[in-house]
Amino acid sequence: MEKMASEYLYDFIANRNIKIGVKVSNLYKNEKTEYHCFELEEEYHSCDIYILVALDGAESALKILIIPTIDLMGQRQLIIEERSRYDKFDSRFELIKIYDNFYNDLDCVI
């Protein structure tokens, strides 16, 4: 894994191919609910995968969402409540390996 300089629109590159963006959100509360808010910045993302870390009140990871950016296209902001349609991505680190296998298969074909 290689950390990227600030001029890149993603934070890390894994195995020379997989562009990964990392976002962290504290827990926010209002009268009705608790939630996490992630600023994705761009509507069309330059990374392959986002790792979104939702912190609890003690700043420990409550959820670590591994989300392919195809599932976030067109979104500049993501709000996650206690239950979310994105929960299926919680701790899905194997998705990074699936992307790695895809890129390795491309290398064999090209």
Domains of the chain: 2-109 (3.40.1350.10)
CA distance 64 to 93: 9
Task: Name residues whose C-beta falls within 8 Å of residue 17's C-beta, 6 or more positions apart in sequence.
Answer: 99, 100, 103
pLDDT digits (tens, 9 = 90+) for 6-38: 666 788 888 888 999 999 999 999 888 999 999
What pLDDT, on the 0 to 100 scale, is given for residue 58?
81
The candidate with the shortest Cα–Cα distance to 29, out of 61, 8, 66, 56, is 56
Per-residue confidence (pLDDT) for residue 109, from 0 to 100: 66
35-65 pLDDT, tens digit per residue, is 999 999 888 888 999 999 999 888 889 999 9
pLDDT at 90: 96
Is the pTM higher than 0.95? The answer reads no
Give 53-107 pLDDT, tens digit per residue. Answer: 999 888 889 999 999 999 999 999 999 998 999 999 999 999 999 999 988 887 6
Rounded CA gap, 67 and 92, in Å?
8
